[in-house]
Amino acid sequence: MSSKLRAGIVGGTGMVGQRFIVLLENHPWFQVTAIAASANSAGKTYEESVKGRWKLATPMPEAVKSIMVQDASKVEEVAKDVDLIFCAVDMKKEEIKALEEAYAKTGTPVISNNSAHRWTPDVPMVIPEINPEHLEVIAQQRKRLGTETGFIAVKPNCSIQSYMPTLHALSKFKPSKVVVTTYQAISGAGKTFADWPEMVDNVIPYIGGEEEKSEQEPLRIWGSVSENGVVKAESPVITTQCIRVPVADGHMAAVFASFEQKPSQEEILEAWNSFKGRPQELELPSAPKQFITYFQEENRPQTGLDRDIENGMGISAGRLREDTLYDYKFVSLSHNTVRGAAGGAVLIAELLKAEGYIQPKQN
C-alpha cells in the first residue's frame, strides 16, 4: 500500500466513476483512497451513496465500500490526501473547467474524462499510443496555473477511439479523406437498458455534439506542440455520423478512407499487426500487448464477442476491402467505457507516472 500512489475519484458515483473504481481495484501503481461527488452524496459511505445505482455487472470492490464520500466542491479537503485525481463529473462545461483547474492549482495532477478542457491549448488530450509527445505542453500549463506539480490532462471522446488507432497505424500512407459512421452503445450516455427502456429494439440516429467531436478531436490529437500549446492538424478531412444502437457496451465504426499514398491490403494488415506505441514500449500495466487485432472472419468484430479484447483496452478490426469511391473500407471496434473512458484515463495516468509527471506528494 505505502508504495502506491493515492488516487482520488471526483465524480465517483456515476457510471464512469464506477468503472474507475473497478479498474483500480488491485492496480499495481494506484490505490483509491478518496471518492468525491455531489453534496447529496457527501457524508455517506460509498456503498450507501450508490445503493440501487450500481450500473456495472462487476461487483463493487470491498475495499471502497466503507470509504466516506466527500463533497467534490471542497477542493482543498479532497486534494490534501491524494497524489492524483481522476475526474468524471456531470456538471456544466464552465463549472467543470473551474473545478479541474482548482484541483490542479493545489498541486494535484488531474486526469479528466470530461470534455471541458479538450480544446484548452495547453491541456494535453491524449491517446497514449498516438500522441504521448503532447504531454510536453504541461510545462506551459503549469506556468499559467502557477503550480509546480499540478496539471490537467484529458482523455478524448470515446467514439474516436474505435477508429482513430486503426487510421493512425496507417499514418505513413497519409490518410486524406475519411468517412465514418459510428454505432454507439448506450453506456456512452451513462445508461443501462434498465433505465433507458426506450433503447430496446430501437436505433436513434442522433447523439448531441458527438459528430462535431468525432470530426475535430482527431485533428487535435494529430496536431503539433507549439509555444502556444497544441495546434491541430489540417488533415485528413473527416466527416461522421454517430448513431445510438441497442448495445450495452462497445462502439463500432464503419470507416471509408482514401490515402495520398495508397497502401496494399497486405501493407495495411502488417501495419495494424505490428503497431506499438509508448505504452507497449514501457509495458504499462493497462497497456494492451496487441493494440490492434484483425479478424479474418467476415462477421467480425462483433460487440458482444470482441469488445473485451485485451481487457477492454484493445482495438478490433475487420472486413478490410477495397472500395469503389474510397481506397478502402473496414470496420473497427473499441470498448467505450474501458478504452474509451475510465481505462483510457488510467492508461494516461500510467504514462504520466512512467514519464515522471506524477510523483508522491510530500505532505
What are the residue numbers of the active site?
158, 251
Positive or negative: CA dihedral 69, 75, 81, 87: positive
3-class SS at 147? coil
Cα–Cα distance between 14 and 195 in angstroms, integer? 13
Task: Give the bridge partners for 208, in sequence order.
Answer: none
Number of H helices, E strands in the chain: 12, 14
Cα–Cα distance between 344 and 356 in angstroms, integer? 18
Positive or negative: CA dihedral 41, 100, 19, 21: negative
Contacts of 281 (CB under 8 A, 6+ apart): none
- Do residues 253 and 180 lie in contact, with contact meaning Cβ atoms separated by under 8 Å? yes
Q: How far is Cα of residue 64 from the mean position of the Cα atoms in its chain?
A: 23
**Which ranges constitute the DSSP H helices of 146-294?**
164-168, 210-221, 265-274, 278-282
Cα–Cα distance between 28 and 8 in angstroms, integer? 16
DSSP secondary structure, 304-341, as one string: HHHTTGGGGTSEEEEEEEE-SSSSEEEEEEE-TTIIII
